[in-house]
Structures are given as C-alpha cells and as structure tokens.
Amino acid sequence: MRIDVQKLQAGPETHILNHNPAFFDIVGKDCEVSEKVKGKVTFSLVGDKVLMEGNIQTSARMECVRCLAPVKIPIRKSFTVVFIPKEEEPSQKESFNPEEENTSYYTGKTIYPDMEIRDLVLLEIPDYPLCREDCPGLCVHCGANLNNGTCRCKDMEEVAPPNRPAHSWKEQLKHLRKTTEGK
C-alpha cells in the first residue's frame, strides 16, 4: 500500500483491506494467520503529520500451550497510528513516552504503512494461547490429553507425583548398569 502525503491535502483517503497474510509477511512457525486481513483504514493529514485510523480483523491458528490442540484465535483491532516526518524523530537521549507508542515515522512524501499494519496484527496474537481457560493439559507421565478424561496413569501405583521422580537417580543408575553389564 502506498499513501501519497500531498494527495491528503485534498482530504482524507480511505482504503479497504482484503489481503492475504503473505501480503503483510505474516508467517511463522508457531502461528499461522489463516484468514485474509480485512478492514478499513483512513489516512488524514493533521499539519505535517499523517493520522492512520481504522480497524482490522483476521484469525490465527496456533497450538494450545497446555494440550497442543489446534486453537483458532480471532483478531479484531481498532487502532490509531500517527506518522511523523523523519526530521522530527526524537533523539536517543529523550526518554520513552508511552503516549507515543502508536507513532511511526516517514521520509519524503510517501508512506508505506504495511509494516505498521503487520505489527498491529502480530501484537494481538497471544504469547500463551489456550484452547480454554481451564485446560488441564497433557499427563506428565503418559502424555494423554486430560481434556478427554483421566489417563491410565491414575490407576498405576508406581507413578510418582509430578514433583518427585519415580526412582532416585542412584537406583536408575544401578538398574542401567545391570542391564548393560551382560552386553
């Protein structure tokens, strides 16, 4: 997407988004944006700054961090980003102002807002997705999905609690030596 700042002097410019995730380079190993990025973005000139306001929606597919089940995460975001000419960029010595969180910079008379839109989508993706809030996850012993019911480990006596190993390391080493001595 390309925004000509000089054309904004005539009035706001609205763009309808309906792009594949690849358009915004939204690809990842742990997360797949599975639907088109849709929305509406309006650009307007305020002095020499450009205001980008709008909303985006899409969805992402991830794995639940507890049970590894696929999770569809809806992403809906309303936003405002202010583009400031590069020559007004604050120096490194100035402290960070949280009110400038949604500020970006441009040079010349053209703005390419694709990376800002990409970042807005990525910031809505959770760090620890869950299939549901009370997901019990996988059994630490056998790997069974506890969302589907209890596992066989509950009936076994030799299984140690998760905070204590089944056998001490010394016992495991003795057992290993016995099994390898004959070889």
Three-state secondary structure call for residue 120? helix
Low-confidence winner among 31-45, 71-85, 86-100, 145-159 (lowest mean pLDDT): 86-100
pLDDT (0 to 100) of residue 157 = 42
User: Rounded mean pLDDT of 141-170?
Assistant: 69
Q: What is the pLDDT of residue 86?
A: 82
| Cα 60 to the center of its chain, rounded Å | 9
Is pLDDT of 117 > 50? yes
**117 within 8 A of 54, measured Cβ to Cβ:** no
Q: Are 54 and 37 in contact (CB under 8 A)?
A: no
What value does the mean pLDDT take over residues 76-101? Answer: 70
pLDDT value at 178 more than 80 = no
Paired tokens of 72:
């569809």
3-state secondary structure of 115: helix
Overall average pLDDT of the 50-64 stretch: 95
First-to-last alpha carbon distance for the chain, in angstroms, is 68
Structure tokens at 47: 């002095």
pLDDT at 82 (0 to 100)? 95
Which tens digits make up the pLDDT trace of 11-42?
999 999 999 888 877 777 788 888 999 999 99
| Distance separating alpha carbons of residues 140 and 177, to the nearest angstrom | 26
- The pLDDT tens digits for 100-115 are 568 999 988 999 999 9
Burial class of residue 110 (count of CB atoms within 10 Å of its CB; 0-12, 13-18, 19+): exposed
What's this model's pTM, rounded to 2 decimal places? 0.71
Residue 161 has pLDDT above 70, yes or no: no
